[in-house]
Structure 1
Amino acid sequence: MAISSTALEMISSASLSPTEHLLLNHFVERAVDPDLAAQYLVSRVSRETGAGVKVEACLRSFKQDLRNLASKVTTFDPIPEHLDTLVRRRDGPSCCMTTKLKEGGSFGAVESAYIIPPSMIKNLTDEDSSILEAFLSPQGVRQLKLLVESGDPLRNLWCLSPSIHKAFRQGHVEIRTKASRMAGLGYSPEECSLEKHKDQVYRQIHCRRVGVALTAKYILEQLYPEKASGLFYADGTKVGRTVGMFKMSTEDPTLSLPSSFLIEVHYRFANALHLFSIEEKIALGWPKQRKAKNPGFPNLSGMFYYLSRLIPLSLRMRLYLFLWPIGNRIWGSPGPTWGPSWIQRLPFNLMIKECIRAPQSEPNALRLVKRYTTIPAPRIVDVGEHKGKTYLVMTLLPGQPLSEVAHLMSYAERDQFADDLADCVAQMRTIPNQTGYRFANTLGGPVVDHRIPDGQGGPFNSEADFNNHLTSHLGCTPDEILDGLSMRQDHRSFFTHADFFGLNLLVDRGRLSGIVDWECAGYMPEYWEYIKAKRAAHCSPVLEAIFARTFGSEYTKEWEIERKLWRLTPFGV
């Protein structure tokens, strides 16, 4: 077994928090030489456990030393005036990421910033140096010191907007050259030696290199979870994408571009810095519990509810729509950022939703859930029409979306959440099907689901018809494309939420506090809840682990078939 595998197994078997596991795994996996980092960690733990210290205590001691080292990357070192002048001359009046000015706009303040603060090298302790050599390799540390202490200082400088500079320094964004992101490449020791002893030759060589000195392309990535907010370029443009690209260029061979090696060093520390900030947030504990104020209690929400009953439904709809922009100004839009929002929080602890695809089925789903279960779902306040559109007004549930806080949950909280969700699934399966169809929405109409062709189909009286509809957009039956896999036709029909997306599951102080967005609810094959949840958890190991505990392994064959169908329609159907 490779030493890196031994180290990762040692980490995973230790009784640590999820964030601690991620931090320690990061040290091994993001090291220049994972085996070298693993050897250091295994040797250190072996030495300390030999003295009677528990493995967990050894790993936490190392984590603290790693934190001390990483914190040196966040240090703000003042830039000498002559270097500040040079870097601003090279990068222009804007930050290095802003190349074009919007018409009528103006550049805001920019800050010259070190990529790696020189004080980091000056203040290294013996323990820091040992960890740094394990993480970057001895050769990498020599290269780092050479570039920071005696290389061209412009290689370690650039201009950034204040917000991006702060996020970069704290590790909330990663910046890499496009080439290093693709290949993980830095500068060789020979290039560093050339920079130290033959500056003029160095500049001439690198100015002939497209993508290194004359022009270099960079990629900025915002780290998840806890995506940085309030990031702006120097021209005032908001950083809207998780991944952004920009390029730098210089026509003056005496003004070197930033070193890709130094950018790579910062990249290797960024994830650890980000995780340490998450660990600090976890240490603060969950926010104070907010009690949902439902109509029926002597409070402002209750007063609004009872007074609103005194006016006709049509006027109540006008009142809710009048409150919509007020709610948007107070709380913003919880809907998608890429298009119009169909849902909005309102004053008086209410939510309003424009029911577009299932105008009557979704309210009926909430009625069924209230009648037959104790599932924490919104309670209906009003359903009405205005100008041909149907609106559902319901109570606000406490909590935050699972996708936004899952990383803050302990292993015990994740297990409890999965068990609570499993109980909700079991309760949903007790809701009787009185539609007259095997698979249909809650009123016996067409199934509404993002997963199926055209977003709807049916209702269906047989699973064979349902299966055929799943591949109808491909012009063939499932058997023709599944390469020997066959879809069962005898699954039971159960009431299904069908959209356990991370935004639709609410968490309050580590517990399941609500399930929202019942638009796709209906009677579906028993495996449907599972495969829809698995699709929603794609690329999220935390959500995948939660759903694995919720559903078990009963429907692994159905998931294998779904993955095959998914590959044929990777962007949906």
Structure 2
Amino acid sequence: MDVPRNISHSASQLFLLDKESSEYKAFLAIAHVPHPDRTILGSFINDAFDPEEAARYFLQITSREDSSTAPPREAVLQFLSDWKTLINKFRPTIATSLSNDTKKLIYERDGGQCCLTRAPFKSYFDQGLEYVHIITPGVFADPELSEGTTLFEMLNAFLSGKVLDVVRSSMLDLDPKQPVKLDNLWLLSTPASDAFKEGEVYLTVQTWKKQPDTSRKQTYSAKTNIYKPLHCPRLSMPTETIHIENRTPQSTPILNEELLAIHAGFSSPLAWIEVSKYMDVSVKDTSRGKPPTPSSASPFFSIFRRLWTLFPSFVRTSVYDILARIGLRLYGPSLSMTVFKLPFGLYLRRGSPLLAPKYHVEAHTLKLVEQSTRIPAPRAIDVVETPRFSYLLMTCVPGRPIGPQFSTMTDGEVEQAVVDLKEYVSELRKISRKPTEYQICNSQGGGILDWRIPDSQREELRFKSEAEFNKYLTDPFWEEIRIKAAKSHDIYHDIVFTHGDLNPRNILAENGRITGIVDWENAGWFPEYWEYTKAHYTVRGLKHWLVDVVDTVFPGYRDELVVENMLSDLLGPF
């Protein structure tokens, strides 16, 4: 988990921590450390077997004697340096000096295939086959990890004394006839070995699947730490359930469950070390980033849009169908079955004829944003319907979703994203609303569409006042809930134009700047807090995003968030 920077000002999940707990104080103490070092340091607490105990140890080691002020910066950075050293000592290693007899034992025990991907090998010396130590042999013979040293005490706090004793005894308990600890070795392909060494993949025992004889077979869940962007190589796993089998129990032990658990504990810190390396070689100068230019800036675009829509609808829809097939071949399917990336920098929504009214509203919204703001949003080109499909053609905007790249953004880039998003939200709120009897409605004055309100997908929902809207939100619940909701519902709010779904999938970025905001189907006129509470909706686990972006863009509306979380939780799952 990324460790946020602005914890003390957040209304997100971390604020649920007891402000007097050691965990909360430790997170505050490392807030000044730049990402990703802040997150690497935070993993000492987040991934410890006992996070509160690990936090107490951190504060004890780094704080001044009187403990009345924040730990000195030098002490925190020294702790970080020691922690990085310890992480790398527990990085899995390739066995390079095994005898052929030992290789044959492991090869036969593991069935001549990669234990993670099931890729088969032809022989025990096949190319692309690696024998990997889960924990480096001799790690506990390292003088830096002898009892009483700084690293030993740090490891003791991270693993807990009981776990450390078990693992240490296991690693030091060697058979004189077999100097290599066989239950610390397994067979992996080169890609699987790389992923395991870098903490991308780790295993946890499926405790609900009890094996009758765990010396012959054990079942694990394969889990991943995916922090680097999507374009980085990743291990392809055929299944999330991994069966570790011992095919030669008479001569070899099965993989050591405790050692895999230790690797699982270190996997996230290892993965963040890799993120740090990635950021070191791909760091971007955010000062060079320029605000994006909306795609309709060229006069040619307006002329093309007018001329294209003069063609008969059957011609246009035939072209759209052809382009959709080409787009599928070139770019593959999108996350939605109704959205297609097309050549020529275009996107297409194609759905049921029943969706035509929604497409018309979204096109109207995009034109309103185009005419009233400088927000880099798609530009609507055409809406057309046939007995078979309805279509919305729009331009593409540059950039990639900010979510998958957020973990590798520097604090400076995150700050710039906040500046950009604040500006765009401010521009949205300045859009003037035409006089109508309905205050809360879509951009055309009709019914809203909002995933937070399931009935809006089936009914024409619009409201003459915020009070009427509040009544609708609380009608399904009992009096006690309505009284609690009054904490924010009794507050007067301006009604402003709202995107309604500002989550990391719908915000595009490149080189530290927001380059586009997409997916405007939920947009409309809502109470001013709605943009903020909806930005929390469905992404409550993304603490770094919520704390350092959403809670920073919107410094108020904390009571409204508490009420909205309560109401949406009671209404049902996201």
Alignment partner of 1:225 out of 199, 223, 227 = 227
For the Cα contact (< 8 Å) 1:91–1:158, is it kept in 2? Answer: yes
For the Cα contact (< 8 Å) 1:493–1:526, is it kept in 2? Answer: yes
1:466 aligns with 2:469: yes
Alignment partner of 1:115 out of 134, 152, 161 = 134
Change in 2 beyond 3 A, CA 1:422/1:480: same
2:506 matched residue in structure 1:
504
Q: Which amino acid aligns with 2:515?
A: S
Aligned-pair distance for 1:375?
Answer: 1.8
1:83 aligns with 2:102: yes
Gaps of 5+ in 1: 48-53, 102-107, 183-207
CA deviation string 1:431-469 (max 9, x = no partner): 233354222222222211111123434122244543454
Change in 2 beyond 3 A, CA 1:110/1:540: same
2:10 matched residue in structure 1:
none
CA deviation string 1:334-363 (max 9, x = no partner): x32xxx532233222222223664111101
What is the CA–CA distance in structure 1 between the aligned matches of 2:466 and 2:150, rounded to whole Å?
Answer: 63
1:535 aligns with 2:554: no
CA deviation string 1:279-299 (max 9, x = no partner): 122222239979779467699
Q: Which amino acid aligns with 1:156?
A: N
Q: Helix, strand or coil: the match of 1:503?
A: coil
Aligned-pair distance for 1:143?
Answer: 4.7
Q: Which amino acid aligns with 1:344?
A: F
Change in 2 beyond 3 A, CA 1:502/1:77: same
Change in 2 beyond 3 A, CA 1:399/1:482: same
TM-score normalised by structure 1 residue count? 0.76
What is the CA–CA distance in structure 1 between the aligned matches of 2:30 and 2:540, rounded to whole Å?
Answer: 22
Query: Which of 414-423 and 287-296 deviates more?
Result: 287-296
Alignment partner of 2:194 out of 166, 173, 177 = 166
What is the CA–CA distance in structure 2 between the aligned matches of 1:396 and 1:360, rounded to whole Å?
Answer: 18
For the Cα contact (< 8 Å) 2:317–2:384, is it kept in 1? Answer: yes
2:42 matched residue in structure 1:
25
What is the CA–CA distance in structure 2 between the aligned matches of 1:311 and 1:5, rounded to whole Å?
Answer: 64
Matches within 5 A, 1:84-483: 84-97=103-116, 111-118=130-137, 120=139, 125=144, 130-136=150-156, 143-148=166-171, 150-151=173-174, 153-179=181-207, 210=212, 212-226=214-228, 230-233=234-237, 237=238, 239=239, 244-250=240-246, 253-254=249-250, 255-283=252-280, 284-286=282-284, 294=295, 312=312, 314-333=314-333, 335-336=334-335, 340-354=336-350, 357=355, 358-385=358-385, 388-434=388-434, 436-456=437-457, 457=459, 458-470=461-473, 476-477=476-477, 479=479, 481-482=481-482
What is the CA–CA distance in structure 1 between the aligned matches of 2:407 and 2:555, rounded to whole Å?
Answer: 21
For the Cα contact (< 8 Å) 1:441–1:522, is it kept in 2? Answer: yes
Aligned-pair distance for 1:515?
Answer: 1.1
For the Cα contact (< 8 Å) 1:468–1:478, is it kept in 2? Answer: no
Change in 2 beyond 3 A, CA 1:398/1:451: same
For the Cα contact (< 8 Å) 2:95–2:131, is it kept in 1? Answer: no
Query: Which of 26-35 and 530-539 deviates more?
Result: 26-35
What is the CA–CA distance in structure 2 between the aligned matches of 1:517 and 1:531, rounded to whole Å?
Answer: 17
For the Cα contact (< 8 Å) 1:45–1:59, is it kept in 2? Answer: yes
2:16 matched residue in structure 1:
none
For the Cα contact (< 8 Å) 1:111–1:159, is it kept in 2? Answer: yes
What is the CA–CA distance in structure 2 between the aligned matches of 1:359 and 1:80, rounded to whole Å?
Answer: 67
For the Cα contact (< 8 Å) 1:448–1:455, is it kept in 2? Answer: yes
Q: Which amino acid aligns with 1:269?
A: F
Q: Helix, strand or coil: the match of 2:359?
A: coil
What is the CA–CA distance in structure 2 between the aligned matches of 1:281 and 1:165, rounded to whole Å?
Answer: 19
For the Cα contact (< 8 Å) 1:429–1:496, is it kept in 2? Answer: yes
Over the matched positions of the two proteins, sequence identity in percent amounts to 28
Alignment partner of 2:552 out of 530, 549, 552 = 549
CA deviation string 1:408-431 (max 9, x = no partner): 333343333223323322222222
Query: Which of 434-443 and 246-255 deviates more?
Result: 246-255
Q: Which amino acid aligns with 1:509?
A: N
Q: Which amino acid aligns with 2:39?
A: L
What is the CA–CA distance in structure 2 between the aligned matches of 1:307 and 1:175, rounded to whole Å?
Answer: 58
Aligned-pair distance for 1:516?
Answer: 0.7
Alignment partner of 1:516 out of 511, 515, 518 = 518
2:570 matched residue in structure 1:
568
Change in 2 beyond 3 A, CA 1:527/1:126: closer
What is the CA–CA distance in structure 1 between the aligned matches of 2:112 and 2:482, rounded to whole Å?
Answer: 58
What is the CA–CA distance in structure 1 between the aligned matches of 2:362 and 2:509, rounded to whole Å?
Answer: 22
What is the CA–CA distance in structure 1 between the aligned matches of 2:259 and 2:464, rounded to whole Å?
Answer: 63
RMSD: 4.1
Q: Helix, strand or coil: the match of 1:353?
A: strand
Aligned-pair distance for 1:158?
Answer: 2.5
For the Cα contact (< 8 Å) 1:75–1:119, is it kept in 2? Answer: no
What is the CA–CA distance in structure 2 between the aligned matches of 1:445 and 1:6, rounded to whole Å?
Answer: 46
Gaps of 5+ in 2: 1-18, 65-70, 121-126, 176-180
CA deviation string 1:1-56 (max 9, x = no partner): 9995598257425x321321111122244345668866775676579xxxxxx944
Q: Helix, strand or coil: the match of 1:360?
A: helix
Q: Which amino acid aligns with 1:177?
A: V
What is the CA–CA distance in structure 2 between the aligned matches of 1:328 and 1:119, rounded to whole Å?
Answer: 53
What is the CA–CA distance in structure 2 between the aligned matches of 1:298 and 1:436, rounded to whole Å?
Answer: 37
Change in 2 beyond 3 A, CA 1:127/1:289: farther
Aligned-pair distance for 1:95?
Answer: 3.4
CA deviation string 1:165-214 (max 9, x = no partner): 321111112212235x99xxxxxxxxxxxxxxxxxxxxxxxxx9957424
Q: Helix, strand or coil: the match of 2:397?
A: coil
Q: Helix, strand or coil: the match of 1:394?
A: strand
Q: Helix, strand or coil: the match of 2:398?
A: coil
Q: Which amino acid aligns with 2:33?
A: L
Alignment partner of 1:63 out of 74, 80, 89 = 80
What is the CA–CA distance in structure 1 between the aligned matches of 2:138 and 2:393, rounded to whole Å?
Answer: 57
For the Cα contact (< 8 Å) 1:11–1:21, is it kept in 2? Answer: no
Aligned-pair distance for 1:327?
Answer: 3.2
For the Cα contact (< 8 Å) 2:144–2:152, is it kept in 1? Answer: no
Change in 2 beyond 3 A, CA 1:92/1:24: same
Change in 2 beyond 3 A, CA 1:348/1:500: same
For the Cα contact (< 8 Å) 1:31–1:135, is it kept in 2? Answer: no
Q: Helix, strand or coil: the match of 1:494?
A: strand
Change in 2 beyond 3 A, CA 1:544/1:293: closer
